[in-house]
Structure 1
Amino acid sequence: MTLQATRNPLRERFDAALTGFIDRQDTAWPDGAPRGALDSLRRFILAGGKRIRPAFCYWGWRGGGGEDCPEVIDAAAALELFHAFALIHDDIIDGSDRRRGQPSMHRLFATLHDRHAWRGDSLAFGRNTALLCGDLCAAWAEQMFHECGLPPGQIHQGYAAFALMRTEVIAGQYLDLVSGVGDGSVASALTVIRMKAARYTVTRPLQIGARLAGASPSLWKAFGEFGDPLGDAFQLRDDVLGVFGDPAVTGKPALDDLREGKPTVMMALARDAAGRPQAARMASLFGNPALDDEGAEELRGIIRSTGAHEQIEQMIRIRTDAALAALTGARLPPPVHTALTELAAAAVDRTH
């Protein structure tokens, strides 16, 4: 099958697989249990997202010699359910009120509580309900992956990489919390993005697909050499967009990362390069929950003047170039090489 025949409809095929899976869960939802969580999850999962992780998984499968088939579409789409779990929990931890241009799950349920004037703490209700929704997405991801229809031996091989990805994401989230109260160094910030986001965005999906196809250990290594730097570049771009992006495009408020005091590589670089007056202003502005637009613009100006913004752009370029060089050395079939090159560009050259 040609690249043209498999690339263009991939997102639609992933969405169709997710829709079918969620619809099947609807019939299994226990009688008497409120359907608000199920309906809200359906909207959250299907309403947005780049589907970049399923795409990398699919092309990892093709790179490992697998042929296009509905079963691998289901297996790859399961990663989007895991991604939903990670986003919901991350928004709770970060206190983010919006995601993909809509209220985050915990905010959605807190608003529902307020609207109906229910008893108790609306924020606690929103947080606790969203936690359950995130847990359900994690369970669904496992279920969808195992029910994809591939032979059990192949699923078992792919699941080893899936389990590794899951552990890394949770450990990376914990490390992110620790780094937030730690030294805020560039090195610790780079470690966080590698564990929490980079590998589960690019490297592990590729390796899951390759393992499902029964690929050799050499391809696992090649995908790591390509995926790790590209995943880093992807997350560095996310961090730039979190400060300098247009909220109408990113779907998240421009002040969230700055008010939270998110310990990104860019902020660590700015802190290291700041003069004493700049450092004092950063200390008063960054991580201030009352930060307003004027203060945020001042903080952006400090980041630019220290050279941190340009340094991050250079780091993104260097890592992307390293990933593409590794891809060239991987000796993949031309359609797979082309697809991964295009995915690399989409991961890094973006506005949301």
Structure 2
Amino acid sequence: MLAELGPDLQGLADAAIGFVAGGKRLRPQFCFAGWLVAGGDPEEPGIVTAAAALEWLQASALVHDDLMDGSDTRRGRPSIHRAFEARHREESRHGDPVGFGTSAAVLLGDLMLSWCDELFRSNGLPHAGDAFSFLDRCKTEVVAGQFLDVAGQTRESLSVAEAMTVVRYKSAKYTVERPLHIGAALAGAGPELIAALTEVALPLGEAFQLRDDVLGVFGDPEQTGKPAGDDLREGKRTVLVARAAELTDEAGRELLRTSLGTAEGVDSVRDLIRTSGALAAVEGDIARLEAQADEAIDRLGADARDVLGPLALTATRRTR
């Protein structure tokens, strides 16, 4: 339909399709895992449709997240707003290229969110209505988490507990818990299994986001597709930063106050995170959360272990 309206909208559609090429596909994988744990048929095509819809939700969130953060790259390529800025300049268009890029990113992110619902609605599974309620909650929760993250950047500091609340709502629920719930609900799971999956999902999702935070500061840009230190440059009050503030002395806290959120302060804040023991503390948090998730997987039984065990390792033992 978009292509019929001319080359500008063909370009928008091409950008959307190109954006979802790549990525870890974790949310669809957890959705499929929830389906299998609840006894769903692995050959059922409807679950593939439902799980794929979550990739449009993820794409929408990333396009908007990059815009809010002013990020230049995503997955080793220009972020959507930067790509449309560049297109504006290359084609010598009238007006403001930055404004054009911003508008394109807002609209494309909204379109992807609409496509998520449209695709999910077409899965044809008998329990789709039950699962849709979890998808609705997922969308609300990720917006709540994103806003807590944005609001946190306006504060001088966040405690570890406050930073972990951001982790839970911005990532753990959205990446692991709700996709598992959606897949299980599509297979007709009852409340007991949904609750048992939460016991797996929340610690695993929190460990996933803490690993993401570590990679954002110490990861290899060749692997992550983003410059190392972006979170520090953007002034994100992550758990790493909260741990550093907790463990350092007053001079270290003053360094955080003056250098976090500046390009020139990235190296000194990174060094503080390491030397204060914050990096080691967060690695300890990740190991503790992994162990909690592992115990919860064991309580679900051997079949669930076969499905969730490898996926849990993929989420937390990664380099990108």
TM-score by length of 1: 0.87
The aligned residue for residue 303 of structure 1 is: 273
Residue 344 (1) aligns with residue 319 (2):
no
Alpha-carbon distance between aligned partners in 2 of 1:277 and 1:198, rounded to the nearest angstrom = 33
C-alpha displacement at 1:163, in angstroms? 0.5
Please name the residue that 2:237 is paired with.
Answer: 263
3-state SS in 2 of match to 1:126: helix
Q: Deviations over 1:19-72 (max 9, x none)?
A: xxxxxxxx56443362111011111112x1111110110110111111121110
Shift of 1:197: 0.9
Q: What's the counterpart of residue 80 of structure 1? A: 55
SS of 2:5 mapped into structure 1: coil
- Aligned residue in 2 for 1:326: 296
Amino acid at match of 1:315: D
Asked if 1:217 is matched to 2:191, the reply is yes
Amino acid at match of 1:155: A
CA–CA distance in structure 2, aligned partners of residues 227 and 136 of structure 1: 28
CA deviation map 1:239-278 (0-9, x unaligned): 0000000111100011311110111001011012222222
Q: Select which of 85, 94, 100 maps to 2:75.
A: 100
2:154 aligned partner: 181
Q: What aligned pairs does 1:218-237 form with structure 2 within 5 A after superposition? A: 218-237=192-211
Tell me which amino acid in the other structure corresponds to 1:58.
F
Q: Note the residue ranges of structure 1 that are not aligned, 5 or more in a row.
A: 1-26
Cα offset, 1:164, TM superposition? 0.6
Counterpart of 2:285 in structure 1 is: 315
Structure 1 segment 285-300 matched on structure 2, within 5 A: 285-288=259-262, 290-291=263-264, 295-300=265-270
1:140 counterpart residue number: 115
Aligned partner of 1:281 in structure 2 is 255
| Structure 2 residue identity aligned to 1:96 | S
Matched-pair contact (CA < 8 Å) for 2:164–2:239 = yes
CA distance, structure 2, for counterparts of residue 193 and residue 109 of structure 1: 30
Match of 1:10 in 2: none
Deviates more, 1:295-304 or 1:184-193: 295-304
Per-residue deviation, 1:115: 1.3
Cα distance between partner residues in 2 of 1:65 and 1:344: 19
Asked whether the 8 Å contact 2:297–2:304 carries over to 1, the reply is no
> Does the CA-based 8 Å contact 2:28-2:54 persist in structure 1?
yes
> Deviations for 1:72-128, whole angstroms, at most 9, x for unmatched residues?
011111101100001011111111111001010011001111112212111111011
What is the rounded CA distance, in whole Å, between the counterparts of 1:330 and 1:347 in structure 2?
19
In 2, the alpha carbon distance for the partners of 1:278 and 1:167 equals 36
Counterpart residue number, 2:23: 49
Structure 2 unmatched ranges of 5 or more: none
Are 2:37 and 2:303, in contact at CA under 8 Å, matched by a contact in 1?
no
After superposing the two structures, state which structure 1 stretch, 274-283 or 249-258, moved more. 274-283
Deviations 1:319-347 (A, max 9, x none): 0100110111123xx34321201000110
Q: Does 1:199 align with 2:178?
A: no
Aligned residues: 317
Alignment match, 1:241: 215
Partners of 1:185 and 1:336 lie apart in 2 by: 35
> Once the 2 structures are TM-superposed, how far is the Cα of residue 192 of structure 1 from its aligned partner?
0.6
SS at match of 2:165: helix
Say whether 1:172 aligns with 2:140.
no
Paired letter, 2:38: G
CA-to-partner distance for each residue in 1:275-323, whole Å, 9 max, x for gaps?
22222223222111x32xxx43332221111110000000000001001
**CA distance in 2 between partners of 1:145 and 1:78 (Å):** 5
CA, structure 1 residues 118+252, in 2 after alignment: closer, same or farther (shift >3 Å)? same
Change in CA separation of 1:54 and 1:132 when aligned onto 2, cut-off 3 Å: same
Distance across 2 between alignment mates of 1:351 and 1:66: 31
